[in-house]
Structure 1
Amino acid sequence: MLEDAGLLVREPDPLRSGRSSYRITEPLITFYQAVMRPAWTALEQRHGADVWRRSQRRYASAVLGPRFEEIVRQWSLRFAEPELLGGHVAEVSAATLTDPDTRTRHELDLVAVGEPPPGDGPRPLLAIGEVKWGRRLGRADLQRLERIRALLVRQRPGFDAGGARLLLAGGHGFEDDLVDAAAGRADVVLVDPALLYGR
């Protein structure tokens, strides 16, 4: 019923067959669940200013962060130039990858998949990404994506991940070490609000 009303959407994980996650589509509902519902008694007692002051971190992580991630995913799917991401994006979602050697789980805020090739070849994995609203992204974030791309090349033969762009989207910009590392690299895409919304 929530899906039919457009309040909840099921998003398949392209890297884990048969696995999906659900996302609340309405930011006001997310805000209610993250900020208002846990502090309902204080709000009824008219302590709204105090509730708001104490809820800033939760608001940023549970409301602003996920909303910014979805904005970047929709930009990648609908507005990004094909040359920027290495082709036309057919699907985009968040995804999870497990490294069996280290038994660690890697969460990706963005996985952009291209159109299926003719025949039975692997699907092009155009981009993988890290999206952060509340902090500046640095070189360590780029190195993490490089490791994940190498892992995808080894473990996911159904995808052509060798040329996947490494997309880093920051609501608060980027550290100088990341800007320097990305300079001159066609496989690294830095996305800030100016790029999202046009300069």
Structure 2
Amino acid sequence: MAEPVVRLHQLLIQRHEPELVVGRADRVWEENADTVAGKIYGPHFEELARQWCFEHAEPESLGGRPSWVRPTEIACREHRRGHELDLVVAQSPAFGTDRIIAIGEAKGTLTPVGLPQLERLEHLRGLLPSARVGALLKLLLFARSGFTDDLRREAERRGDVELVDLHRMYRGT
């Protein structure tokens, strides 16, 4: 718990101490809500999503039982840089190499997750080494603030997309 407190101090309190001292906390908080969401809530939410995959998700949600879940960065020639991936879910068979069964993105932002995040995951799926990818790679989207209607409709018509909101994360399926 100390790490988020230290981050809050560095991001908000230390930088805005004079304003806080004179009673402008409401304004400081309002102007920095996105920073707090991205730098404090975001990393914590990503870790909760990884824990959910490993400890609570049903095999149908992930395309199998996970052996490990971790973040990674994937190189991309098209964009000439690496892309961060919040979740890579893999199975480790007794005899053989690890097989990636799902990849995912966790957004702890105040805005709902939409189709652009799904399109990004589809792009990243194309960058994975095909020899290590399972037959039906699941695309997982986690959202603190829910999902747009167009993304919900798209996910309903597909078998490879799982949407996980706070209610589902805390229900455990």
Match of 2:161 among 174, 177, 188: 188
**Which position in structure 1 is the counterpart of 2:144?**
171
Give the aligned residue type for 1:150.
G
**Which position in structure 2 is the counterpart of 1:61?**
38
Q: How many residues align?
A: 171
CA-atom RMSD, angstroms? 2.2
Structure 2 CA distance for partners of 1:165 and 1:178, relative to 1, 3 Å: same
Give the aligned residue type for 1:178.
L
Structure 2 CA distance for partners of 1:28 and 1:164, relative to 1, 3 Å: same
Whole-angstrom CA distance in 2 between matches of 1:175 and 1:46: 37
How far apart are residue 48 of structure 1 and its match?
3.1
**Which position in structure 2 is the counterpart of 1:81?**
58
Whole-angstrom CA distance in 2 between matches of 1:94 and 1:104: 17
Identity of aligned residues (%): 36
Structure 2 CA distance for partners of 1:50 and 1:141, relative to 1, 3 Å: closer
Q: TM-score, normalised by structure 2?
A: 0.85
Secondary structure, aligned partner of 1:71 = helix
Structure 2 unaligned runs (5+)? none
Structure 2 CA distance for partners of 1:161 and 1:101, relative to 1, 3 Å: farther
Q: TM-score, normalised by structure 1?
A: 0.75
